[in-house]
Amino acid sequence: MKLRVYVTLKSGVLDPQGEAVRHALAALGFDGVNSVRQGKMIELDLAEQDATKAVSMAEDMCEKLLANTVIESYRIEPV
């Protein structure tokens, strides 16, 4: 089963990469961009076919490795 994991910084956590992108967009003439938050997308192809078990496995992966849960949140979607 394929899953996508979206990892983003929690609100209130400073995002220097997002801020750098916002400044670069302004320099390229894209006015009106008030803020940018940057994250990452991870695609998993698991042997598990049961959706509930696959999501549970992905959650365990996020808690242990894929996301720093102190400052990041994650969302899992089947593909």
Over residues 69-78, the pLDDT tens digits come to 999 999 999 9
Instruction: Enumerate the domain spans of the chain.
Output: 2-78
Task: For domain 2-78, give the fold.
Answer: Mth169; Chain: A , (3.30.1280)
Question: 16 exposed, middle or buried (CB, 10 Å; 0-12, 13-18, 19+)?
Answer: exposed
Per residue in 8-66, pLDDT (tens digit) is 999 999 999 999 999 999 999 999 999 999 999 999 999 999 999 999 999 999 999 99
- Judged on CB neighbours under 10 Å (0-12, 13-18, 19+), 55 is middle
3-state secondary structure 42-56: EEEECCCCCHHHHHH
- 14: alpha, beta or left, given left = phi > 0 and alpha = psi -120 to 50? beta
Single-letter amino acid, residue 1: M
pTM for the structure as a whole: 0.89
